[in-house]
Amino acid sequence: MSVTGVLFSTRLLWLWSLLIVWLLMPQALAQDVSITALFKPDSSHPHLNQFKNTTPPSGYCQLYPGQCEEHKTFSLQVPIRFESTQAIPANHASPRQGATITVPAQWRELSVRHESGAVEQVRMRITGVGSKYVTEDVRTLTGDTNADSRNAHYRLWGTSWVNAPSPCLDSGVGYYYPTSYGFFWKTPAQAACNKQARFDVPWLRYEHLDFSYELVTPNPLGMLAGHYTGSLTYTVGPNGDFDFGDVMLPSSPVLTMNFNLDVQHTLKVDIPPGGEKVQLVPAGGWQGWLQAGRKPVRLFRDQTFNISASSRFKMFLQCSISDGRVCFMADRDSMLSAPLKVSVSLPGGFTDSAGRPVQRQELVTESGAVTFQPGHYVDRKPGTLHFELEKPDHFFLPGAPKQYFGGVTVIWDSEV
């Protein structure tokens, strides 16, 4: 019984140790990379409503920035190394026994989430791949130690690694030494790009993983200000998203892209000095009333303002005298009152919730707040607040007081 107990305990310890190793391996081997983008309105380009990729480039685009700027792509280099598990035989029949590369060139979609819980969609695809392969001196492998290393690389694979195998496309750049070759290929399709060795290659290593990518980000004008985060995970290894064949095994089985989109909206309203004091007057002034006793049929005032906005916002009123929906004006003694109509006209570029231009849109208290959406960044354009007393004849009775009051606060609120 004691011997059995010892054996049983030892076996449990072995299984427990194996379980710990298995649980820890994915965390230790996982490779993460951060991708950041920023939207901040630019008054010099108000119609450029796009995120700017703020991810520091590494790899191909860091070495050849002009190439990436021309094609509007970005690249990153991650320390995922690929090592051959066996020799690569000359003229191998299966491409998967040699140098073959497949990357996820098709669009993938991921969700990014705001702190409030709002969700938007981002799309990504891999547009290029590269690395630096390392092996023994290629002049020795091809049997001509006096050859130029460039020609030896060519003889080893039957073609230069600056020339991408179909369906991959050349990037036009590459560098080499007797024991290594740096390359980068464009990947317009999700299909294998194969190189066949013409001589035995006892071992091969890819020093790192370079890739270029393209992003499609949401329309920032419809997004909330703040940070959106999300992630997209690719598998790496045989038959994975990044597939380098059956011989070349990666140091990490997964590659996770962590996204952080920063939205910095602008909502600014400038009212001219004195614009906070609105005096309602009849058309043509008070002369008709003072000289001829003609009651004004309309008391109004238009107040201009300048607005800058890059996201939707809502407008509503706060009133010193209100029925819960509209504002009122009254005299101080008899409290004779009449409703005050407040409306707004916004400059071109803004629409209401139905997609119509904003002309004399009536404003009421917060329960009836109305929302407006810019079609592009509107930078310091003029709008108008319209104030009108709806029943002015109430105030022109014999012996009626001459001053009336009412406080109205107009609110532009970006928290929609």
CATH of the domain at 318: 2.60.40
Q: List Cα–Cα distances, 47 to 41, 53, 315, 348, in angstroms.
A: 9, 17, 24, 13
Q: Indicate if 124 and 273 belong to the same structural domain.
A: no
pLDDT score for 276: 86
Look over the chain and give the mean of its residue pLDDT values, rounded to a whole number: 87
**Sorting pLDDT into bands at 50, 70 and 90, what band is 199?**
very high
Of residues 60 and 260, more confidence is placed in 260
Average pLDDT over residues 271-299: 76
Which domain, by its residues, includes 215?
28-263
Q: Tell me how far apart the terminal alpha carbons of the chain are, to the nearest angstrom.
A: 73
For residue 118, being part of any structural domain is answered with yes
For residue 55, being part of any structural domain is answered with yes
Q: Indicate if 213 and 68 belong to the same structural domain.
A: yes
CB burial of 210-244 (b: ≥16 within 10 Å; e: otherwise) equals bbbbbbebbebbebbbeebebebebebbeebbbbb
Asked if 331 and 399 count as a contact pair (C-beta separation under 8 A), the reply is no
Asked if 323 and 371 count as a contact pair (C-beta separation under 8 A), the reply is no
For residue 272, being part of any structural domain is answered with yes
Domain count of the fold of the chain: 2
Query: Which residues, other chains included, contact 35 with Cβ-Cβ below 8 Å and sequence gap of 6+?
Result: 53, 55, 76, 215, 257, 258, 259, 260
Q: Indicate if 144 and 229 belong to the same structural domain.
A: yes
Q: What percent of the chain has pLDDT over 70?
A: 87
Q: Indicate if 298 and 197 belong to the same structural domain.
A: no
Whole-angstrom distance, CA of residue 169 vs CA of residue 20:
44
Q: Indicate if 217 and 303 belong to the same structural domain.
A: no
Q: Indicate if 197 and 345 belong to the same structural domain.
A: no
Average pLDDT over residues 262-284: 88
Whole-angstrom distance, CA of residue 187 vs CA of residue 198:
24
For residue 18, being part of any structural domain is answered with no
Q: Indicate if 168 and 209 belong to the same structural domain.
A: yes
Q: What percent of the chain has pLDDT over 90?
A: 68
pTM: 0.79
Q: Indicate if 212 and 357 belong to the same structural domain.
A: no
Whole-angstrom distance, CA of residue 383 vs CA of residue 345:
6
pLDDT score for 141: 96
Q: Indicate if 92 and 215 belong to the same structural domain.
A: yes
Whole-angstrom distance, CA of residue 376 vs CA of residue 123:
22
Instruction: Report whether pLDDT(335) > 80.
Output: no
For residue 14, being part of any structural domain is answered with no
pLDDT score for 113: 98
> What digits encode the pLDDT tens for the residues 144-195?
888 899 999 999 999 999 999 999 999 888 899 999 999 999 999 999 999 9
For residue 5, being part of any structural domain is answered with no
pLDDT score for 28: 43
Asked if 173 and 160 count as a contact pair (C-beta separation under 8 A), the reply is no
Looking at 263, 280, 303, the residue that finishes a domain is: 263
Looking at 263, 296, 314, the residue that finishes a domain is: 263
Q: Give bridge partners of residue 267 from the DSSP assignment.
A: 309
Instruction: Report whether pLDDT(284) > 70.
Output: no
List the structure tokens of 304: 């201009």
Asked if 213 and 124 count as a contact pair (C-beta separation under 8 A), the reply is yes
Q: Indicate if 205 and 298 belong to the same structural domain.
A: no
E strands, 264-369, are: 267-270, 299-309, 313-319, 327-331, 337-345, 350-351, 361-363
Q: How many whole angstroms from its chain centre is CA 134? A: 37
Asked if 390 and 338 count as a contact pair (C-beta separation under 8 A), the reply is yes
Q: Indicate if 214 and 283 belong to the same structural domain.
A: no
For residue 60, being part of any structural domain is answered with yes
For residue 7, being part of any structural domain is answered with no
Q: Indicate if 295 and 357 belong to the same structural domain.
A: yes
Looking at 263, 279, 302, the residue that finishes a domain is: 263
List the structure tokens of 361: 């849109």
